Chain A
């Protein structure tokens, strides 16, 4: 059974940093492109970033480009999101999601999410 479990969320002050993790199991992690998608309270879904199966290619949404870094450790089956220079508008639930295999860019499995609150 595919499982994705996020951790690392919490309350952080504006301008500070936070690093999210996503532990994957139930599939061969190194075969899949992965992503982070976020959802602000009572708002819709926003794609944040994606990373290729080997980690060499990354893409970011304009709202986080230059501040967030997506990475992965295939030996640990773990996805990361380093979030720097956090702003109040980054407050959201952050979901780890798997891209379907063979170069498809929709999200076929999602974790339950971890909440990040940016506030002083």
Chain B
């Protein structure tokens, strides 16, 4: 089983700042890492899929990088509407495991 270690657990940022979230996997997963946003009381939403591919309709402020075991998710110029919890998920092998989440709060 591939363990996904996500950090930090929480972030408090000001509007306009840059957000960086890290996910590290216990096995090599090539570029099979995905990133989701979950706003309060809602279902998760896929933002970025395998190969650091931005999903249709997702602003280009969101991006990711990484390959193998180290991955980074970035939000440039963070906005109030970006508040929520962000999760990474590996899709390389069963079980499909998620990181523990990063709670993003805007000051």
Partner of A104, one of B42, B50, B94: B50
Whose C-beta in chain B lies nearest to the C-beta of A96?
A: B43
In the complex the two chains form, is B100's CB within 8 Å of A61's CB? no
Cross-chain contact B46 with A62 (CB below 8 angstroms):
no
The closest CB in chain B to the CB of A46 belongs to B98
Q: Would A47 and B50 count as touching, CB distance under 8 A?
A: no
Q: Report B-chain residues with C-beta under 8 Å of the C-beta of A59.
A: 94-95
A5-61 contacts to B, CB under 8 A, are 35, 44-47, 50, 59, 61
Of B44, B45, B101, most A-chain CB atoms within 10 Å: B44
**B74: Cβ under 8 A from any A Cβ:** no
Q: Which residues of B contact A108 (CB under 8 A)?
A: 46, 49, 55
Q: A106 and B44: CB pair below 8 A?
A: no
A interface residues, how many (CB within 8 angstroms) = 21
Is B3 among interface residues, defined by CB-CB distance under 8 A? no
Tally of B interface residues using CB under 8 Å: 24
With CB as the reference atom, state the residue of chain A lying closest to B98: A45
Cβ contact of B91, chosen from A95, A105, A110, A111, cutoff 8 A? A105
Q: Pick the contact of B87: A45, A95, A112 (CB < 8 A).
A: A45
The answer to whether B95 touches A107 (Cβ under 8 A) is no
In the complex, which of the residues B44, B92, B97, B100 contacts A107, with contact meaning CB atoms closer than 8 Å?
A: B44
B89 at the binding interface (Cβ < 8 Å): yes
Pair A44/B49 contact, Cβ less than 8 Å: no
Assuming the contacts A95-B43, A110-B44, asked whether A61 and B50 have C-beta atoms less than 8 A apart, the reply is: no
Is the CB–CB distance between A61 and B95 below 8 Å?
yes
Residue B34 at the chain A interface, CB threshold 8 Å = yes
**Residue contact B43 to A106, C-beta cutoff 8 Å:** no
Chain B contacts to A: CB under 8 angstroms = 32, 34, 36, 38, 42-46, 49-50, 55, 87, 89, 91-92, 94-101
Residues of A in contact with B (beta carbons under 8 Å apart): 35, 44-47, 50, 59, 61-62, 95, 100, 104-113
